[in-house]
Amino acid sequence: MSSLQEKVEDFLAQKRIAVTGVSREGKSAANLIYHKLMDDGHKVFPVNPNTETFEGAPCYAHVGDIPGGVDAVMIVNRPDVSDQIVHECAEAGVKRVWLHRSLHSMGASFEPKTVEFAEARGIRVIAGGCPMMFAQPVDFGHKMMKWVVGAMGQMPK
C-alpha cells in the first residue's frame, strides 16, 4: 500500500490528465483544478457530456473519447456520476483516479463502493481531498483546507 504522499506525487507526475465536471459557468472546483494542472505543465482534457468545448478546447463526453487516452483522471462530480466515470476509467485502461472532495461536501462526492471497484481493477485511487492542497505552490486557502481536513481526520488515504 502506498502512502498518500506517494499517490499524490505519482498522480501529479502524470503528463496527460482528464478533469471531469468542468463547467461553463463560474469558478467551479473542477475549473480551478483544470487551470492549476494546466499552469503546472500538464496536458489537461476537459470532460463534460453537456458541452462540446470548454474555454476553446474540445470537451469530451467520456474519458474513453479522449484521443490517445490519459494517464490519470481527476473526478469532480456527485457520487452517481463519479461511479460511472470510474467504470469508464476501468474500461479505458486508466490506472490513476483522484476522487475530489471539498470541505463542504465531506462524504458526499463518492461512495465507498466506487473506491472498492477501482482498487479491485488495479486503479490507484486517491479518495478525497483536492490536488490544490498538494500541487506547488499551494495557495493560502488550500493550505488551510489541508490543515482542517487533517485536523478532522478526513485526509484521504
Q: Which three cell numbers stand for residue 72?
A: 490519470
If DSSP states are collapsed to H, E and C, what string results for 47-106?
ECCCCCEECCEECECCHHHCCCCCCEEEECCCHHHHHHHHHHHHHHCCCEEEECCCHHHC
59 close to 91: Cβ distance less than 8 angstroms? no
**pLDDT tens figures, 31-80:** 999 999 999 999 999 999 999 999 999 999 999 999 999 999 999 988 88
Residues 144-149, mean pLDDT to the nearest whole number: 78
Distances (CA, A) of 147 to 97, 99, 129, 134, 154: 23, 19, 11, 12, 10
**pLDDT tens figures, 104-114:** 554 457 888 99
pLDDT at 150 over 80: no
The CATH number corresponding to 4-151 among 2.60.40.10, 3.40.50.970, 1.10.287.130, 3.40.50.720 equals 3.40.50.720
Q: Which three cell numbers stand for residue 60?
A: 469530451
- What is the model's pLDDT at position 76? 93
**pLDDT tens figures, 115-143:** 999 999 999 999 988 888 888 888 788 78
pLDDT at 15 over 90: yes
In angstroms, rounded to a whole number, what is the distance separating the alpha carbons of residues 5 and 50?
A: 34
- What is the model's pLDDT at position 103? 59
Neighbours of 122 (CB within 10 A): 9
Q: Tell me the pTM.
A: 0.91
Q: 96 - beta bridge partners? A: 124
- What is the model's pLDDT at position 107? 46
In angstroms, rounded to a whole number, what is the distance separating the alpha carbons of residues 142 and 33?
A: 12
